[in-house]
Amino acid sequence: MASTALKGPGETPKLDGSGLRIAIVHARWNATVISALVSGTKKALLAAGVQERNIVVQSVPGSYELPYAVQRVYAASTVQSSTAGGVSATDLLASMSSTDLSSTTQDKTDMSRSPFDAVIAIGVLIKGETMHFEYIADAVSHGLMKLQLDSGIPVIFGLLTVLNEEQAKARAGIENSSGKSHNHGEDWGNAAVELGVKRRAWA
């Protein structure tokens, strides 16, 4: 029976993610919340059958860096690893260390095996006293949308834009004062699987 919930993506279709390669690119600002979101995302990917070795995790300092990093991580996955006498983009990415905020295994696999089927961009923007929040939220939203339309690769919007830490926790499955919490990372993992599978069908 279809879900009657007002909010959320409704009933998640049961899709087989076992043939997919997915990248998670996350910011490190607001680390506790990011860590929970990355864990929730990985949990959903694994539950859908995506293999651990086909989940690549990379990090950047803040959300502003997400569009550029998503673009480079995806581009590197489409390039063959061998370059004559030089360091390829894939070698470079494979050698980059990604801060292990989530205690998840950081991927050390060959980035060039096949292009990613979807990339999940995760960041947490918490509004401060200045206009920083608005500028970064606007730039990142537009950057990620442009990227997915220009490249044809689904880019999942895992950017929380919240007014305070309590709101961020409530969306990351972390206990907060209201007691209600849902990990949006799980929705993002499911969205990546659905779009990754559908992208192949729509190709």
Active site residue 132: yes
Out of 73, 125, 162, 191, the only residue in the binding site for ligand DLZ (CB under 6 A) is 125
Q: Minimum CB separation from ligand DLZ for residue 122, in Å?
A: 9
User: Site for ligand DLZ (CB under 6 A): which residue of 17, 123, 173, 189?
Assistant: 123
Per CB under 6 A, 136 contacts ligand DLZ = yes
- The yes or no reply on residue 126 touching ligand DLZ (CB under 6 A) is yes
Residues paired with residue 161 on neighbouring β-strands, in sequence order: 125
Candidates 82-90, 102-110, 123-131, 141-149 — which segment interacts with ligand DLZ by CB under 6 A? 123-131
Selected catalytic residue, list 26, 132, 142, 184: 132
* Closer CB to ligand DLZ, 20 or 101, in the complex: 101
Among 27-35, 38-46, 100-108, 170-178, which window interacts with ligand DLZ (CB under 6 A)?
A: 27-35
72 residue type, one letter:
R
Order of strands across the sheet that contains 55-60: 55-60, 22-27, 118-126, 155-162
> In the set 7, 85, 97, 128, which binds ligand DLZ (CB under 6 A)?
128
**Closer residue to ligand DLZ (CB): 58 or 112:** 58
42-81 residues in contact with ligand DLZ (CB under 6 A) are 61-65
CB of residue 143 to ligand DLZ, shortest distance in Å: 12
β-bridge pairing 118-126 and 22-27: parallel
Among residues 124 and 192, whose Cβ is nearest to ligand DLZ?
124
- Do 181 and 170 meet the contact criterion of CB atoms below 8 Å apart? yes
- Point out which residues bind ligand DLZ (CB under 6 A): 27, 29-30, 61-65, 123-126, 128, 132, 136
Which residues are part of the catalytic machinery? 132
